[in-house]
Amino acid sequence: YEPEFYVPEYLRKQAKSNKQASLEEPVEEPWNSLFLKKIRWYIQDLQELYRAMTEKGIARELARGILPQFMKTRFYWTVPRVSLDNFISLRTHEGAQKEIREFAMAIKELVGYRGSDKSLRL
């Protein structure tokens, strides 16, 4: 297993109206490029530390603790239809965070989601 990481194309500004919302507007240069460069550097450095720790016999579940939250997660999901409807409805809303909107849209496409109307169900 080799961890994979998500790094955004650009860093978005924090919205003033909501603690969890962001604007589609990127952070000004040179800060955007500088911070992205540092993020990539830290990810690479921590991956090397993770590899060194596991090679020395440290349990993977402990070594993973040093990996950044940008690490991608793989999981298996079973979900009742009503929960899928709620998830899609809430997470594709324009007020949802960009990454979760992208995730919800990918799920819609992956499962062939056509809406919560019973006549349109899979």
Q: Which residues are catalytic?
A: 91
- Return the HEC string of the chain: CCCCECCCCCCEEECCCCCCCEEEEECCCCHHHHHHHHHHHHHHHHHHHHHHHHHCCCCHHHHHHHCCCCECCCCCCCCCHHHHHHHHHHHCCCCCCHHHHHHHHHHHHHHCCCCCCHHHCC
